[in-house]
Amino acid sequence: MDRLASRVAIIGAGPSGLSALRAFSQAEKNGEKIPEIVCFEKQNDWGGMWNYSWRTGVDEFGEPVHSSMYRHLWSNAPKECLEYGDYSFYQHFQRSIPSFLPREMIRDYIVGRACASDVQKYVCFNSVVRHVEFVADQKHFTLRFHNLVTGKNKSENFDYVIVAVGHFSVPNVPSFDGIDSFPGRILHSHDFRDARQFTNQNILVVGGALSAEDIALQTYKFGAKSITISYRTKPFGYGWPPEIEELPLLTHIDGRTVHFKDGSKRTIDSIILCTGYKHHFPFLTEDLQLHTENCLYPDQLFKGIFLQRQPRLAYLGMQKFYYSLPFFDAQAWYLRDVILGRISLPEEEDRASDIRLWRERGKQLSGPSEVDLLAAAAMFKLGRVHKQENILEFRDKLFTSPFTGTPSVANPICWIDAKDDRIL
Amino acid sequence: MDRLASRVAIIGAGPSGLSALRAFSQAEKNGEKIPEIVCFEKQNDWGGMWNYSWRTGVDEFGEPVHSSMYRHLWSNAPKECLEYGDYSFYQHFQRSIPSFLPREMIRDYIVGRACASDVQKYVCFNSVVRHVEFVADQKHFTLRFHNLVTGKNKSENFDYVIVAVGHFSVPNVPSFDGIDSFPGRILHSHDFRDARQFTNQNILVVGGALSAEDIALQTYKFGAKSITISYRTKPFGYGWPPEIEELPLLTHIDGRTVHFKDGSKRTIDSIILCTGYKHHFPFLTEDLQLHTENCLYPDQLFKGIFLQRQPRLAYLGMQKFYYSLPFFDAQAWYLRDVILGRISLPEEEDRASDIRLWRERGKQLSGPSEVDLLAAAAMFKLGRVHKQENILEFRDKLFTSPFTGTPSVANPICWIDAKDDRIL
C-alpha cells in the first residue's frame, strides 16, 4: 500500500463495480490523479444482475447466464433504503415516484448514475476474466481474459484487483431423495423468468429466504392453483392468502407426490428451488478465493473488503445486504481511498483482530432490523412491519427520501393488480 | 512423433474418451509398453453425455451441466449400427434384445465395456480441466485442472493431449424478434428432461435435425396438445400424426403468438429450441481450439483427429456422426498407434493435402445414406426408410448384428406405448 497503484482491474460492471468506477471518477473530477482502471464486464451492457435476460442456462457464447432476475420482479424494500447519497431518485426521474419499484426502474436508476459519470471509457464489455494469479516475485497480478465477440485471449498485469462479480448468480442446488424421477419441471430460482409459466399449476417452492417469499407471491399473483412453501428452519408466518401454505422440509419425492417432515404430502406440478446462491470465483487461484456463506461479515475480509492474506485483492458487495446500493458506495469509497493512499491499511495482525471483533458483533445481531443505519434502517424496519401486517399490500406503502425529503407518490394501481413490467 | 510419448492426457471419460482408454489398455494387455495416461473427467462417473441428470443449467459445483439427455430418450438408429467390434450387445446382455434401445441400456453397454477393461485406474473423476497451453520451448503441454470436491487446483505436463469432451453439450441458442417478452417457457433441447412437462400444451419446436424430430415425437407421445415444428431449410416430411405440423422459420413473436415466414401464426405455450450445439473449448488456448460447424470432416484435423498446427493435440469424435461408438473406436485405435509410434504422421503439407481431399469428397455427399460402411450402413439406410414409412413405428423394427449375427427380438410393447425408461 506504500505507493500509488498504477493499474487497477475491476471485475464486473454491475452495481458494485459501478460504485467503484464512480468513486474513482469523482476523485478524478476533483483534480486528483487516479490509477489506470480497466473494468472487465462479461455481458454486453452494464447493470449486472439487473440486466434481465430471457435466457437460462448458458448464454449465446456458452457462458453461464449471469442474471437471476425475473420479468415481474419488484424491489422488496422501499427505494428510500437503497438511494445513492450523491444521486437521488428525484434527480434521476425528475418527479416523485412510488416507494416500491419494478425491476426496470431500478436498473434505469443504477445505469442512470453511471451514464451521468464519465466511466464508460473504463469498461471492456463482452470480456470474461478467465484466470487471475498473483505473481509474487513481480508483486503484481496477472489477469487473463477472453473477448467473447472476437474470440481473442489476452493477459495483462495489475497492481490491484477488485472482485465485483456479485454472489447471486451461481445457484446452490440441493438434491432430494427421488428428485431424479419427478416428472414435472424442476428449476432453481436463478432460472425463474415469468410467473405465467405456472398458471393453474400446483407449485412447490423450497426455501425460507427472500426468493422463496417473493416467488411464492409472484406465482400466486399470476394464477398458480396452489403454492406450498417448504422451509428448513421456520415458516415466514405471513398472512398468506389461502392458496399459499407453509410446510416443513420435504423428505422425499415419489413420482409427482412430495412428502414432508410432518408426514403430509402434496401432488406437485413444478418444483422451484429457492435455495440460495454460492460465492463462486473459479477464475481466481485458490489462495485468492473467498470462501463464505451468505452473511453480514464474511471471514478473511478486512472491513468486509480486503482479502486478509493478499489485501491488494479486494471484494465488493460480498455481504448479505439490506441497503445494497449505498452499501456498495461506502465500500467503494473506502477502497478507493486505500488505493489512492489516503488511508493506510493496518498490519496483518491488527486487521485480523478487527475482523474478529466485527464478526463477533455480527453474531450478536438477531436479524436485519438490528442493523442501524438511521433513517434507512427505520424505513427498512417499517417495511418489515408492513409485510407482517399484509404481505399482499406492503409494496403499496409510501416512504420519504432520507437524502432529499422527497415523498413518494402512490401507484395508480396496486402491486397485486400490476401485471406488466412497465415503468410506473 | 519421433519418440514414445511418456505422458498422455485424455480430457473426458465419455464414449470417445473411453474408446481411447480401451485402445491403450488393449495394447498393454498384449504386452506392449504404453505411456502414462491420465483421463480427466468432470463428472463423478463415466459415460459422458449418457449420464442422465435431472439438473439443468449449472450443476452442484456451479459447472455447466454436461448432459443433454432426456429421461425417455431411445436410440434413433438400430443398435446394430453402433455396436463395438470387440464387445457385442449379446456379450454384454447375454441375451437377444430389440434393435432400438432406451438410453439406460445404451449407457449400460458403453460402461459395461469400460468395466470389462482395466481402465478405471486412469480416470480422475470430479476433475475439470481449466486451461491447456503448449509450452513451445519445453515441447510439452501444461494442463491446469481443478478438483471439484477438494477445491484444489493443480498443473501437470503432458506430451499429448486428447480432447474427448464431445460436442453436444454447449447449446447454440439463437434469438428471435420478440422472444424477450414471450410469457411462456423457452428452453433449448439441452435442458429438455421429461416430456410430461408439456402434456396438454401447444409446443413450438424450432429446428430441422434429430433433436427437433425426436422431441416433437416425445412431446406427442406424452400428450402435448399440438406440436408445431419450425424449420429453416426444409420440412422432415414424415407421416406425422395430425397433432404435429411443420411450418417454415418463425419471423417474430408477439406475446404468445408466434408468426412464421409463410404468414401463418400459432398461439404457443412453450418454445423448445432444437437449434444444435457448439464445438466449444474455452479451456484451450486460442491456437489449440478447433473451430468448426457440425460436419463430416471438420477442417484442420488430419484424419479427423490431429490438429494441423499442433498434431500432438488430438480431437476425438468431433464429427457429425452416424455410427458413433465404432467410429470412436476407429479414431482411438489410429490415434493410439500414432502415439505408440506404429504409424508416422506425414509432413504438414501432405497432411494439408489429405485434409483438402477428404473435405472435397465429403462435400460431394448428399447425406448420410451415401456414407458406406457395409453392413452397418445398409442397416442405417434401412432405418431411414422405415422412418419415412412410419415415423411412429420405426423403433419397433428388428435388425441383426453385423458382428455376431445375433438377431434382435421384438419388444413386448411397442415404442409409442412404452412410457417408462426401464431396461427392456
- What pLDDT shows up at residue A374? 62
| B313-315 vs A160-163, strand pairing mode | unpaired
Give the H/E segment covering residue A216.
helix A210-221
> Are A64 and B54 a contacting pair at CB < 8 A?
no
Query: Within 10 Å of residue B189's Cβ, how many Cβ atoms?
Result: 24
**Whose CA is closest to B125, among B141, B146, B155?**
B146
Inform me whether the C-beta atom of residue A184 falls under 8 Å from chain B C-beta atoms: yes
Give the H/E segment covering residue B17.
helix B15-29
CA distance B184 to chain A (A): 5
Helix, strand, coil distribution of chain B in percent, nearest 5: 30, 25, 45
Task: Return residues 81-110 of A near B (CB < 8 Å).
Answer: none
DSSP assignment of B267-300: E-SEEEE---EE---TTB-GGG-----S-SS-TT
| B7-11 vs A185-188, strand pairing mode | unpaired
- What pLDDT shows up at residue A372? 52
Q: Which three cell numbers stand for residue A155?
A: 493477459
Q: Which of A45, A56, A267 to mutate to test the interface with B (most CBs of B within 10 A)?
A: A56
Predicted complex ipTM = 0.90
> Are B153 and A188 a contacting pair at CB < 8 A?
no
Tens-digit pLDDT profile for residues A170-181: 999 999 999 999
Task: Return residues 117-156 of A near B (CB < 8 Å).
Answer: 130-131, 146, 151-153
- What pLDDT shows up at residue B4? 56
Domains of chain A plus CATH, in order, are 7-169+277-370 (3.50.50.60), 173-273 (3.50.50.60)
Q: Which three cell numbers stand for residue A265?
A: 404430502
Nearest CA in chain A to B284: A153
Tens-digit pLDDT profile for residues A229-282: 999 999 999 999 999 999 999 999 999 999 999 999 999 999 999 999 999 999
φ, ψ for residue A39, nearest 5 deg? -105, 120
- What pLDDT shows up at residue B258? 98
Mean pLDDT of chain A: 92
Per-residue H/E/C for B190-248: HHCCCHHHHCCCEEEEECCCHHHHHHHHHHHHCCCCEEEEEECCCCCCCCCCCCEEEEE
Distances in Å between the alpha carbon of B293 and those of B212, B298, B304?
Answer: 18, 7, 13
Tens-digit pLDDT profile for residues A149-160: 999 999 999 999
Q: Which of A207-211, A323-327, A382-386, B219-223 has the lowest mean pLDDT?
A: A382-386
DSSP assignment of A11-34: E--SHHHHHHHHHHHHHHHTT---
Q: Which three cell numbers stand for residue B9?
A: 492426457
Judging contacts by C-beta atoms under 8 Å, the chain A residues touching residue B59 are: 173
CA angle A149, B190, A176 (to 5 degrees): 120
Residue type, B214: D
Inform me whether the C-beta atom of residue B45 falls under 8 Å from chain A C-beta atoms: no
User: What integer is the mean pLDDT of A206-215?
Assistant: 95
CA distance A386 to B421: 50
> Are B197 and A183 a contacting pair at CB < 8 A?
yes
- pLDDT tens track of chain B, all 424 residues? 445 569 999 999 999 999 999 999 999 999 999 999 999 999 999 999 999 999 999 999 999 999 999 999 999 888 988 999 999 999 999 999 999 999 999 999 999 999 999 899 999 999 999 999 999 999 999 999 999 999 999 999 999 999 999 999 999 999 999 999 999 999 999 999 999 999 999 999 999 999 999 999 999 999 999 999 999 999 999 999 999 999 999 999 999 999 999 999 999 999 999 999 999 999 999 999 999 988 889 999 999 999 999 999 999 999 987 789 999 999 999 999 999 999 999 999 999 999 999 999 888 876 655 555 566 667 777 777 888 888 888 888 888 887 788 888 888 788 888 877 666 6
* Whether A327 contacts A320, CB under 8 Å: no
φ, ψ for residue B146, nearest 5 deg? -130, 130
DSSP assignment of A139-164: TEEEEEEEETTT--EEEEEESEEEE-
- What pLDDT shows up at residue B391? 84
Judging contacts by C-beta atoms under 8 Å, the chain B residues touching residue A200 are: none
* Whether B195 contacts B270, CB under 8 Å: no
CA distance A214 to A207: 11
* Whether B281 contacts A61, CB under 8 Å: no
- What pLDDT shows up at residue B3? 53
CA distance B65 to B192: 12
- What pLDDT shows up at residue A1? 42
* Whether A165 contacts A251, CB under 8 Å: no
Is the pLDDT higher at A362 or at B173?
B173
Proportion of chain A above pLDDT 90, given as a percent: 78
β strands within B48-152, DSSP E = 123-124, 127-135, 140-147
* Whether B108 contacts B422, CB under 8 Å: no
CA distance A201 to A224: 5
Nearest CA in chain B to A51: B180
Confidence of residue A2 (pLDDT cuts 50, 70, 90): very low
Q: Which among A59, A188, A197 has CB closest to B184?
A: A197
Which positions ≥6 away from A31 have C-beta within 8 Å? none
Torsion of CA A400, A402, A406, A410, to 10 degrees: -20
CA distance A145 to A130: 5
- What pLDDT shows up at residue B386? 83
* Whether B411 contacts B396, CB under 8 Å: yes
